[in-house]
Amino acid sequence: MWIQRTLRLPAARRGFHLVTHEIVNSVPELEFIGMGWMQVFIQHTSASLTINENADPDVRIDFETAMNHAVPETLPYVHTLEGSDDMPAHVKASMMGASLMIPISNGRLQLGTWQGIYLCEHRNHASGRQVIITIQGENA
Would you say residue 10 has pLDDT above 90? yes
Distance in angstroms (rounded) separating the CA atoms of residues 59 and 65:
10
Tell me how far apart the alpha carbons of residues 40 and 31 are, in angstroms, rounded to a whole number. Answer: 17
64 pLDDT more than 90? yes
CATH number at residue 71: 2.60.120.460
Q: What angle do CA 124, 7, 97 make, to 5 degrees?
A: 55
87-99 exposure pattern, b = at least 16 Cβ within 10 A, e = fewer? bbbbbbbeebebe
Q: Which domain holds residue 69?
A: 2-139
| Residue % of the chain over a pLDDT of 70 | 100
Q: What is the DSSP letter of 122?
A: -
Nearest to 13 by CA among 117, 112, 98, 127: 127
Instruction: Say if residue 140's pLDDT is above 90.
Output: no
Q: pLDDT averaged over the chain?
A: 97
The answer on pLDDT for 43 being more than 90 is yes
The total of structural domains in the chain comes to 1
Tell which residue, 3, 32, 14, 2, has the closest CA to residue 123.
14
